[in-house]
């Protein structure tokens, strides 16, 4: 298994932000291209009510499609976001490989996003996570708004640590800190991941950053130094949470992979395929997307000296 995993979340966290609904056939083509690029996990969609997020209305169909024999490469995990029990049941019925679920560290964000206070949301999410584990599924639990909130401002780090403790106490070991609003700085990232990793050094840690204030790649570097091994990112830097006030795109997948490959990491990933997807996504939405490398091209080779 590679030491650093790339989890493409643009087809969920990216597309849910776009007014224009992407046809299912186009999503299938993009996801299949993501398979060819070699990324390790692909988030196919979100089990929300189609009236609330019409961009995700075909999530069940997509999972059913990719669950057919031969449609998904052996090494790839298909993930789906679930917000509640109903979504979990839908996901259990259509072939989700890994359930992603989370609790916000901001009371305001939690109430806006789920209608529940943090404590209530936490109890329900932990119960859902245990049920999915019991069904033999992978589960990744995240703390959303872990580094700040568009409504509340700074989020006390201790609150995040306390939520993580409840996850660990429930036996959950695949954990994520998500910077929903893009407020994190590398210093915050280094400190908070160090604190949660102290609780349970053998847990698997994922990071999820938004580039609202230009720091997504810097935060990813700090996370890597802090021992994080899985990186959520969006093709072309698509994305943002519709329930935060200032929504910036996610860490851009191909920019992240480009930087990692310059550092000698994940040479197996096909950057050219990622750039093709980014160009196709930008062409589909007919605008410049936040990603950098799909516009500049990679740093020119060959190696000199």
Instruction: Compare residues 139 and 192 and give the one whose CB is closer to a copy of itself.
Output: 192
Q: How near is the Cβ of 224 to a copy of itself at its closest, in Å?
A: 9
| Alpha helix stretches (DSSP H) within 137-270 | 157-169, 186-199, 216-225, 253-262
Of the listed 94, 149, 207, 241, which one is catalytic?
241
Residues 6+ apart with CB under 8 A from 50: 56, 57
- 241 labelled catalytic: yes
Q: Which are the contacts of 221, defined by CB distance < 8 A and separation ≥ 6?
A: 186, 259
Pick the closer one to a copy of itself by CB: 8 or 179.
179
Residues with Cβ < 8 Å from 17, sequence gap 6 or more? 238, 239, 240, 241, 242, 247
What residue has token string 């995700």? 56
Site residues for a copy of itself per CB under 8 A: 106, 148-150, 152-156, 159, 183, 185-188, 212-215, 217-218, 220-222, 225, 245-246, 248, 252, 255, 258-259, 262-264, 292-293, 296, 299-305
Q: SS3 of 228, please? A: coil
CA pair distance 255, 101, nearest whole angstrom: 26
Nearest-approach distance from CB 109 to a copy of itself, in angstroms: 11
Cis peptide before 231 (omega within 30 of 0): no
Min dist CB 67 to a copy of itself, Å, is: 36
Residue (71 or 159) nearer to a copy of itself, CB? 159
Query: Nearest distance from residue 293's CB to a copy of itself, in Å?
Result: 6
Residue with smaller CB distance to a copy of itself, 1 or 303: 303
**Counting every residue, how long is the chain?**
305
The rounded Cα 168 to chain-centroid distance in angstroms is 20
Q: Give the active site residues.
A: 241
């Amino acid at each position: 298994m590679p030491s650093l995993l790339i989890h493409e979340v643009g087809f969920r966290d990216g597309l849910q932000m776009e007014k224009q609904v992407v046809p299912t056939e186009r999503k299938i083509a993009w996801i299949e291209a993501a398979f060819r690029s070699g990324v390790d996990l692909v988030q196919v969609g979100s089990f929300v009510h189609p009236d609330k997020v019409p961009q995700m209305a075909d999530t069940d169909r997509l999972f059913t499609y990719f669950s057919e024999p031969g449609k998904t490469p052996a090494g790839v995990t298909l993930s789906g976001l679930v917000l509640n029990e109903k979504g979990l049941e839908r996901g259990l019925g259509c072939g989700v490989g890994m359930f992603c679920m989370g609790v916000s560290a901001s009371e305001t964000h939690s109430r806006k996003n789920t209608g529940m206070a943090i404590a209530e949301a936490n109890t329900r999410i932990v119960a859902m996570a245990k049920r999915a584990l019991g069904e033999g599924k992978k589960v990744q639990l995240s703390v959303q708004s872990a580094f700040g909130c568009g409504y509340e401002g700074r989020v006390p780090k201790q609150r995040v640590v306390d939520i993580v403790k409840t996850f660990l106490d429930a036996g959950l070991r695949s954990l994520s800190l998500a910077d929903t609003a893009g407020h994190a700085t590398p210093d915050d990232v280094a400190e908070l991941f160090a604190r949660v990793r102290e609780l349970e050094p053998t847990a698997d840690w994922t990071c999820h950053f938004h580039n609202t204030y230009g720091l997504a790649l810097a935060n990813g570097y700090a996370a890597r130094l802090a021992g994080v091994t899985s990186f959520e990112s969006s093709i072309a830097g698509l994305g943002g949470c519709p329930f935060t006030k200032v929504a910036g795109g996610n860490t851009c997948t191909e920019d992240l992979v480009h930087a990692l490959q310059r550092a000698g990491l994940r040479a197996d990933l096909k950057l050219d395929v990622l750039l093709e997807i980014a160009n196709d996504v930008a062409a589909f939405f007919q605008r410049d997307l936040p990603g950098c490398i799909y516009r500049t091209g990679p740093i020119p080779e060959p190696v000199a000296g």
